Structure 1
Amino acid sequence: MKKIFTACLTVLSVFSLSATTPQTDGIVYKDKTKRFTVVSDGLVRMEYAPDGKFNDAPSFIGYNRSYPKTDAKVTDDGKNVTITTSKLTLNYKKCNSPFSADNLTIVSAEGVKPFEWKPGTPQKMNLEGTTRTLDWWNGDELQWENREGEWCTRPGKLDPGVLARDGWTLIDDSRGFLLDDDPVIPWVKKRKSKKGAQDFYFIGYGSDYKGALKDFTTLSGKIPILPRYAFGYWWSRWWAYSEHEVRQLIDNFKSYDIPVEVLVIDMDWHYTDAEHGGWTGWTWNRRLFPEPEKFLNYLRDRNLKVTLNLHPASGIKKFEQAYPQIARENGVDPKTEKDIPWVSSDRTFINSVFDHILDPMTKEGVSFWWLDWQQSLYDSKMDSLSNTWWLNHTFFNKMKNTSDARPIIFHRWGGLGNHRYQLGFSGDSYTTWKTLEYMPYFTSTASNVGYGYWGHDIGGFRALPGDSIIDLELYTRFFQFGAYSPVMRTHSDKKVHLNKEPWNFDRETLNLIRDAVKLRYRNVPYIYSMARKTYDDGVSICRPMYYEYPETEEAYDYKGQYYFGDNMIVAPVVSPAVDGYSKIKVWLPEGKWYEESSGTLLDGNRVYERTMAMDEYPVYIKAGSVIPHHAASVDNLRSNSAPLSISVYPGGDGEFDLYEDFGDDDNYADNFAVTKIRSHREGNTLDITFEPRKGSYREMPSKRDVDVKIHATLQPEKVTVDGMPVEYTYSPEELAVVVDLGDYDCAKGKRINMVFPENADEADGTIGSMHRFVKAFGKLKDKYAELEVNEDFGTMSVIYEMLEYYPTESRERLFTFRDKFSRLKDIVAGQPMPESARKWFVKAVGL
C-alpha cells in the first residue's frame, strides 16, 4: 500500500485545510420517498426513491458523501418543506410521486441574481464545457475525408458545462454508475434503484460562477495538483526514435539550452509490426531499446520523467511477454494462444494487466501513462460505461493508492467527474491558424467542468492536405501560447515535414522557442501557486473573463482572451503578421493593467488594438501585482530550493501567497507552506514585506536564494533591507531595480524599503520603444551595411548603455529618447541611407 509521510502543520492563509473542517452528511429532510441533502449553500441533492431505498454510495459525479456543515434552515408544516440557504430557497409540496413542477420549486435567495427553477424548466444559456477529443478539428469545425475521397466539414460541438447565464444548473445522476469501497480502485457498480427513481443535483449561483465551481467540486471531488515537473516543458513526437536517437535528442536540448522536464515516447516504444501487435502493444521493442531498464535509468539520471503511450483496445495477444500469466488469471489456457480481449469493467483482467505489465514497468522507471483510448466508446460488457471515463479512473486511482509519487495520467476527457484525473490530451488537431485561434477558448471553457489541465499538441498534430512545410510563424505563436497554457507540450504526426525539433529551424525561430520555454520555467512559481488555488476552490488557471465580470457583456464577447491565474490576462496572437507585426484586440476590465511586452500601464474598461512583434506577446498584469518567478538560472523543476525572483509591478498595492510543497508526493492536502508577500506604495516610498513562512512539508528548505525586482521605474535614492542600507542592480532593458536578498531565511520574514525620486514610474511604453528601436537598429545593417549614423539616430541605439553608464541622468536620457522616438519618422528621413532602408526601418519599429 501507499506510504504516507506525515508532518505537523498549522497554516493560517487563504489556502484551506479541508482535513480540519467539520463534516456532515448534509441530510436535512427525509420521508418515505424523498430525501434532501444540502451539499453547500448553492448545491442541493434531491432524491426520489419509490421503494424508500436511498443511495449513499459514491457515484461517478457525486463522488463525495460528506460535506462541510452548511447553515441551512428547514421548516416543515406537515404539508410543505422549505429549505433555505444563503443562495437559494427550495419549496417541496409533500407527496409520494416523482419530483415535478407541481411539487418542487427552487428560487434564488435575496442578494443573488434572480433565478427560478422547476423540474422540466429548460436551461437556455449554457456556457459550454469541453469534449472528449479534438481529433480532426480545424478550429471550431471538424474536417475529414470520407471513403469517397470527399472533404467533409461540420461544426464542432462541446458538451454542456456546469455554468450557465441562467444562474442555475441541474445535473441528473439518476442513472449514473456507482463505486464500491475497494481501497485501491473503487470499482464500478450499477444502481439498483426502482424504476422511476430520481437523483438530482441542483446548483444555484446566479452570477457567482466561481462559487458554483467550488460547490461542484465539494460534491464531485477536488481537482488534484499536478506534480511540479508537469508544469515544465514536455517533448513529444510520434516517431520511431531509437535509444541512441533519444540520447542525441536529450544532448541537443542541453546543447541548445532548452529545458525539458518530461519525455513522451509514443507507440514505437513497443513492437508495432503486424507479427507483434501493431497499434496495441505491451512489450518493449528491443530492436530500438535493447535494455529498457538501463534506458529508463539513463533518463532518471538526467532528471527526466518519462511517459509511454498506450492504445489498449486490442487486448493482450499471444506474442506479448506477459501473455501466459494474464491468460491463466483470466481463465484461458496459454497453449490455445487465444486473444485476451480488453474489457475495462473486468476487475480480474485490469488487475492482471497492472500486476504483470504496468506495475513492473513503473518500478523500472516509467513515471506515468499516456492512455490514448480511441476505439469503442463504451465497455463491451457493461452497458453505457464509457471506456474513456472508466480507464481514466482506474489508472489514476491505481497510481494514487499504490505509489509514493503524486498521481498523474495523461488522457482524453471522459465526462463529468473526470476532473479528478486531472490532465487531458486534447487530440489530433490540425496545424492551422484556425486551430490556434480556437485553442484559447477551448482551454478556458473547459474550466466550466473543472477540466482545466490540458496538454495540447503545440503547433497542431496533422497538416491539411497540401501543407508540406511547417509555418514557422504559426509554430512560434503556438509555442508562446503554450507558455501560458496549463501544460506546455510539443507533439506532431509521424510525417517527415512535421519535425519540430527546435534546432532544425533558423536561428531566430530557435531563439523564440527557447525564450518561450524559459519564460514558462520563469512563471512556474506563479503557476504552481495558482494550481493550489485550483485544488482549494475549483477554479482552473486558464479561465474565461466572465468568472470575474459576469454582468459585463465584453466578458462573454471576447472569447479568445482569458485569465491566466488571478493576476494575468492573456490575449493570444492568433493571426499572421503584416510587415512584422500582428494585430490583436483586447478588452481590459476595470482598473489598470500593465502590458508586459511594452511596459505600458493601460486604463481598464476599454478595448485596445495593439501590435505585437514576433518576440512580443500580449500579457496584461493587474496593476500593483506581486508575482513570484523563478530566477533565470532555473532550468529544471526538481529542486525545492530553486532560486526565486519576486516581481513587483507598477500601479498600486499588491500581495501574493507563494505556495510550496514537496512537488511529487500526494500529501499536499495538509503538508505545504505559504509565504505572504505584500507591497505598499505611499508617495515615493515602496515597502515590500515577506511574512514568515507558515507550514511545513517534506524536505522543505530553511533558506531560499531570493531577489526582488521592481518593474518600470527609475533608480531609487535609497534601499534598505530590515533597516540596513543595501546595494542594488539596475536592468536598463526592463527599467527594473533588482535587490538581491541573498540566502534568505524563510522563517524570519523580510522587509525591503525603497525611496524613489518624484514621478519615478516609467510605465508609459518606453520599455517597448527602446526594445523595438535597438532590435531594428541591429538588423538595419543587414539591409544597408555601409550605414554611418548621424547624432540623433546613433545615440538612440545605445540607450541601454547610457542608462547603465550615467545612472544619475536616467530621467533626462529617457526623456530625450522618448522625444526622439516621437519624431522618429523625421529623424529617419534625415539619416543618410537608401529610401528602401528607411521604409524598412520605420516598419520594423512598428510605426
Structure 2
Amino acid sequence: MANVSNYYIDSKNKLISDKESYIIGNKYRFTILTPRMIRLEYSINGVFEDRPTSLVINRSFPKVPYSITESNTLIQIDTGIFTLSYVKDSDFKSTTFGSNIKAVINGTNKEWQAGSKEIRNMRAINYSIDSIKDKIILDKGLYSLDGICLIDDSGSLVLDENDNFIERPKDIKDLYLIMYNNDFEGCLTDYFTLTGYPNLIPRYALGAIWYKNDNYSTSDIVNLVNKFNINNIPISVFLLGDYWHNGSTLIPSIDLKYISSYLNNNNIKLGVTINPTSYINKGTNEYNYISSYTNLDKVNFIPLSNDKIGIYFNIFINNLNNLGVSVYSIDYNNPLDRINLWKIDHYHHGLSNIKNIRGLTLSRNANIAMHRYPIIWSGKTLVNWTTLNLLPRYNSQGYNMGLSFIAHPIGGYHGGIEEDELYLRYIEFSCFSPIFLLASEGGVYYKREPWKWNSIIRNNIIYYMNLRYKLIPYLYSESYNYHKTGHGLVKPFYIDYPKIIDEPLYKNEYFFCRNFFIAPITERKNSVIKRSIKKIYVPNGIWFDYLNGKKYTGNKYYNNFYRDEDYPVFVKAGSIIPTSINIKEYIPSILELNIYPLDNGEYSFYEDDGYSNNYKKGLYMITKFNYQYELDNYTFIISREEGKNLLSRRTYLLRFKNTRNITEVNIEDKTISYSTYYDRDDFIIKIDNAIVGREIKVNIKGTNILVGSDVIINEEIKNILFDLEIRTNLKEELDKILFSDLEIRKKRIKIRKLKRKGLDKKYINVFINLLEYIEKS
C-alpha cells in the first residue's frame, strides 16, 4: 500500500532487472540496462542491492543483446554502442599503471575509466545562488561534450522492507555509466526511466507566485489582494514568509483558515514558509502538541529521523493542510546537508500524493532526482544586473540534469538598488520562463508591487503578467509533455548549435517549450537612443517575432533594437499556440489558437482539472490541432485525440497570423456557426459554441494572403530617429546621410561635420556606431 515513503515506486518488481541482463562475479555485478547504460556494482562481500534508493526507482528495462569475451582474469562486454573492459573482482579504481575498468564508445576515441574527471561536462545547476555576486560554481550534469556521464548512487539512501530510508554500507560502489555519444535525448530517456519521469506540476504553479517577506496581518493580506484585483494584476499563490507563526514554532499566529478561504474565493492558493531548523522548546504551548511523542527538552526537524517524520507531518503539516495551506516553501539553506532537504521534499510530495492531489514545494536544489519535486528555488539572490545576466544560462543548465521548474525572485531578493528598467526586464524574462515568482525581503522600499512603479513601467508590467496568464494553457500542455517525455521546458542552444557554446553574445539564448526561442535582455539599454541593442543568432528555419510578427530567416545573425516594452521572443513557422481569453478559467471556454504560416504544423493540446491525480485515471482531454500550409491556401483541423470531454462546448478563435486578403472561407461541417474579421495583420475566424470532440475542418483561400513582415534594419533606424529629442532639420540630414549610397568612410565624415550645426557629440557617436548595423543589413 502506498505511503508517504514508498509512493514514488510503482512496483518493487521493477527494481529487479531481467536475469539475462546480469553479469555476476564474486565481488562485482554488472547489469546491462540499455545499449547506452550499464550498472556497475562492487561489494567486497559480494552483496548487491535490489531495493529502491532515494535516486533509483526502476531497473526493469527491456532485455538488451550484448556479447561477452572473457578469460580467468578479464571480461569484455560489447553492447553494440560501447565496449567495457574490467579486471575481474577488482575494485573500480585507477592507478599510475592504468584503470582496472574502462569503457569506450565504439568507433570513437571517447573513453571512460574509473576516476575520470569529466572535464568536458557542461555542468548543471548547483544547490542555490543565494547572494552570488558574479561567478557560479555548478554541479556536474548529465550532458558532456564527450557523450559520457557517470551517476554515483553509492551514497544514496535505501528504502528498506519497513519503508524506512536507511544508509548504505560505506565499502560498496553502485554506479550507472551512460555512454550516449551524441544521443543526449537517449541519455535523458535512460535517466528518467531509471529515476522516474518528472511529476506533473499543478496548473496554478504556472501563474504568479507572490512572496514578500513582510509581517502581514489578515487585513494586510485582504488589502493587498484587493489592490492586485483593482490593478488587473493576476496572482495564483500568496506565499507567507517568516511571520505567519510565533517565533520558531509551526503554530499559526494569524487566522490561516480565514485567509485561505478568502484567497480561494479569489482563485489564489495559500502557501507558508517553513524553516525546519527552528526549535520547539519544552514548556511552550506548541511543545504540548508533541509531548506524548518525545522526551527531548527541545525538538527541531533536522536531521529528519524516522521518529520526527511522524511529528512533523501528522501534527504540524496535517494541521496546516486542514487550515487550507496548499504550498510549502522549505527555507533550509545548508549545501552540506542535501539528504535532509531531499527527505523533506520527498515526504511533502508523498503526503499530497496519497491524498490524490498534486502538492507543491519550493526548495533549494537537493540534487537527488529533483525533477520529481518541483519547484527548485534559486535562493535569496542579489538585486542587480549581474544576477539577471546569470539566470538564463542557469535555467538552461537545469536541462543538463533533466530539470525545468526553477524559480528566481523577480527583481532579485535583497540588497542592491531598485531600478525600473531592471525590474521590467526581470518581468519580461520571467514571462517566458517556467516559473513566475514575485519575491523579495520584507520592507516598504522593495518594489515588488507593480503599482509602486511609474505609470509607463506599471502598464508594461501588467501587460506581461497578463500575457503570462494567457499563455498558461500552452505552458500547462507543455508541462504535461515534460511529464510524459522528459523534454524540458528550457533547452540550451548549445545542445543543437554547439558552434555558439563559447560565444558570449549568444550564450543566454534558449529554446522555450517546443515552439519558442528567447534571446533575453540582461543589460542596460543605450541611454542615448533609449533602446537595448541586441545581437541575436536565429536558429534554422523561419521564425516570427511573437510580439510584433516580424519574420526572421534562420541560421543567421541579426542586430536588433528593443524599447522597454519590447522583448526578443520568437515562435517557429507552423506553430500553433493555444492561449486563453478568460485567464481565470482552468479549462478555457474560449480558446484562441495562434497559427503561424510558412510551414505545416500540429499540436496535441492537453487539459485536466489542474490539481488532482485524477488524470492518471483517464480524466483528461487531449485535442489535436493540425495545420496544412500551402501558398494562399490554409487548412486547419481540430479533432479529439484521446481522453474524456471535460466540457461540452467551446468557442474557438482561429487567429491566422500575418494573413490578409482572404476571399473564401469554408468549414466542412455546415452546422457550425462562425464569423470572421481582421485584427491588424491577422485574420480571425470565430467558431461559436462548437461541440467538443467533434471534428472541425476549416479551409481559407485568397490572393497574396501572406503579409510581408521581413525585418528591415533601415526601418528600425528611422524609428530611433523619430524618437530622439534633436532638431527636426538635423534628423532630415542624418536620414540623407545614413541611407545614402555613399561609402561608409564618407558617411562617418559627414556625420561628424554635423557637430558644426549643433548635433551633440553623444548623438554623433551613436550614429557612427549605427552605420555598422546598416552596412550589415
Query: Do both proteins adopt the same fold according to a TM-score greater than 0.5, normalized to the shorter chain?
Result: yes
Taking the aligned partners of 2:470 and 2:498, their CA distance within structure 1 comes to 31
Which residue is 1:226 aligned to?
Answer: 201
C-alpha deviation, 1:710, in angstroms = 1.0
1:398 aligns with 2:336: no
> Aligned with 2:423: secondary structure?
helix
> Aligned with 2:33: secondary structure?
strand
1:677 aligns with 2:625: yes
Which residue is 1:34 aligned to?
Answer: 28
Which residue is 2:55 aligned to?
Answer: 61
Which string of whole-angstrom CA distances, capped at 9 and with x for unpartnered residues, describes residues 730-754 of structure 1? 111xx11111122233322221111
Which residue is 1:611 aligned to?
Answer: 561
C-alpha deviation, 1:556, in angstroms = 9.0
1:75 aligns with 2:72: no
Taking the aligned partners of 1:610 and 1:301, their CA distance within structure 2 comes to 44
Which residue is 1:659 aligned to?
Answer: 606
1:175 aligns with 2:155: yes
C-alpha deviation, 1:319, in angstroms = 6.7
Moved more, 323-332 or 514-523: 323-332
C-alpha deviation, 1:665, in angstroms = 1.3
Gap regions ≥5 residues in structure 2 = 4-9, 733-737, 741-757
1:350 aligns with 2:309: yes
> Aligned with 1:269: secondary structure?
coil
1:261 aligns with 2:236: yes
Which residue is 1:688 aligned to?
Answer: 636
Q: Which amino acid aligns with 1:165?
A: L
Q: Does the 8 A contact of 1:260 with 1:636 survive in 2?
A: no
Select 1:131's aligned residue among 107, 126, 129.
126
Structure 1 segment 533-544 matched on structure 2, within 5 A: 533-544=481-492
Which residue is 1:471 aligned to?
Answer: 419
> Aligned with 1:268: secondary structure?
coil
Select 1:628's aligned residue among 563, 572, 578.
578
Structure 1 segment 165-314 matched on structure 2, within 5 A: 165-180=145-160, 186-192=163-169, 195=171, 197-271=172-246, 277=247, 280-285=248-253, 289=254, 291-314=255-278
In structure 2, the CA distance between the partners of 1:22 and 1:424, relative to structure 1 (3 Å rule), is closer
Q: Does the 8 A contact of 1:545 with 1:555 survive in 2?
A: no
Select 1:580's aligned residue among 519, 530, 533.
530
Q: Does the 8 A contact of 1:25 with 1:66 survive in 2?
A: yes
Taking the aligned partners of 2:15 and 2:158, their CA distance within structure 1 comes to 22
Taking the aligned partners of 1:557 and 1:480, their CA distance within structure 2 comes to 19
Which residue is 1:807 aligned to?
Answer: none
Select 2:686's aligned residue among 731, 740, 752.
740
Which residue is 2:414 aligned to?
Answer: 462
Taking the aligned partners of 1:822 and 1:300, their CA distance within structure 2 comes to 59
C-alpha deviation, 1:352, in angstroms = 0.9
TM (norm. structure 2) is 0.86
Select 2:657's aligned residue among 708, 711, 714.
711
Taking the aligned partners of 1:187 and 1:758, their CA distance within structure 2 comes to 68
Q: Which amino acid aligns with 1:65?
A: R
In structure 2, the CA distance between the partners of 1:93 and 1:488, relative to structure 1 (3 Å rule), is same
Q: Does the 8 A contact of 1:598 with 1:766 survive in 2?
A: no
Q: Which amino acid aligns with 2:574?
A: G
Which residue is 2:541 aligned to?
Answer: 591
Taking the aligned partners of 1:23 and 1:715, their CA distance within structure 2 comes to 61
Higher RCO (C-alpha 8 Å, min separation 6): 1
> Aligned with 1:247: secondary structure?
helix
> Aligned with 2:280: secondary structure?
coil
In structure 2, the CA distance between the partners of 1:726 and 1:247, relative to structure 1 (3 Å rule), is closer
Q: Which amino acid aligns with 2:688?
A: G
Identity percentage over the alignment? 25
Taking the aligned partners of 2:161 and 2:476, their CA distance within structure 1 comes to 32
Taking the aligned partners of 2:688 and 2:122, their CA distance within structure 1 comes to 48
Q: Which amino acid aligns with 2:113?
A: K
Taking the aligned partners of 1:657 and 1:129, their CA distance within structure 2 comes to 30
TM (norm. structure 1) is 0.79
Taking the aligned partners of 1:748 and 1:23, their CA distance within structure 2 comes to 43
Q: Does the 8 A contact of 2:364 with 2:376 survive in 1?
A: yes
Q: Which amino acid aligns with 1:580?
A: K
1:108 aligns with 2:100: no
Taking the aligned partners of 2:224 and 2:33, their CA distance within structure 1 comes to 51
Which residue is 1:646 aligned to?
Answer: 593
Which string of whole-angstrom CA distances, capped at 9 and with x for unpartnered residues, describes residues 478-513 of structure 1? 000010111101111223221321112221111111
Select 1:164's aligned residue among 126, 135, 144.
144
C-alpha deviation, 1:70, in angstroms = 4.3
Which residue is 2:401 aligned to?
Answer: 449
Aligned length: 724
1:408 aligns with 2:360: yes
RMSD of the alignment, in Å? Answer: 3.5
Gap regions ≥5 residues in structure 1 = 4-17, 142-154, 272-276, 333-337, 379-384, 788-792, 794-820, 824-833
In structure 2, the CA distance between the partners of 1:497 and 1:96, relative to structure 1 (3 Å rule), is closer
In structure 2, the CA distance between the partners of 1:771 and 1:96, relative to structure 1 (3 Å rule), is closer
C-alpha deviation, 1:29, in angstroms = 2.0
Q: Which amino acid aligns with 2:686?
A: D
Q: Which amino acid aligns with 1:593?
A: W
Which string of whole-angstrom CA distances, capped at 9 and with x for unpartnered residues, describes residues 378-405 of structure 1? 3xxxxxx63322222222222223x232
Taking the aligned partners of 1:511 and 1:609, their CA distance within structure 2 comes to 27
C-alpha deviation, 1:759, in angstroms = 5.7
C-alpha deviation, 1:615, in angstroms = 1.2
> Aligned with 1:530: secondary structure?
helix
Which string of whole-angstrom CA distances, capped at 9 and with x for unpartnered residues, describes residues 208-233 of structure 1? 22222221111122211210010011
Q: Does the 8 A contact of 1:83 with 1:91 survive in 2?
A: yes
Taking the aligned partners of 2:523 and 2:389, their CA distance within structure 1 comes to 8
Q: Does the 8 A contact of 1:719 with 1:726 survive in 2?
A: no
Taking the aligned partners of 1:768 and 1:597, their CA distance within structure 2 comes to 19
Taking the aligned partners of 1:728 and 1:87, their CA distance within structure 2 comes to 56
Q: Does the 8 A contact of 1:573 with 1:583 survive in 2?
A: no
Which residue is 1:152 aligned to?
Answer: none
Taking the aligned partners of 1:409 and 1:768, their CA distance within structure 2 comes to 49
Q: Which amino acid aligns with 2:257?
A: E
Q: Does the 8 A contact of 2:674 with 2:688 survive in 1?
A: no
C-alpha deviation, 1:518, in angstroms = 1.0
Q: Which amino acid aligns with 2:538?
A: L
Q: Does the 8 A contact of 2:589 with 2:650 survive in 1?
A: yes
C-alpha deviation, 1:62, in angstroms = 2.2
In structure 2, the CA distance between the partners of 1:446 and 1:181, relative to structure 1 (3 Å rule), is farther
C-alpha deviation, 1:607, in angstroms = 1.9
In structure 2, the CA distance between the partners of 1:229 and 1:771, relative to structure 1 (3 Å rule), is farther
In structure 2, the CA distance between the partners of 1:743 and 1:260, relative to structure 1 (3 Å rule), is same
Q: Does the 8 A contact of 1:629 with 1:646 survive in 2?
A: yes
Q: Which amino acid aligns with 1:476?
A: L
C-alpha deviation, 1:60, in angstroms = 2.3
Taking the aligned partners of 1:398 and 1:776, their CA distance within structure 2 comes to 60
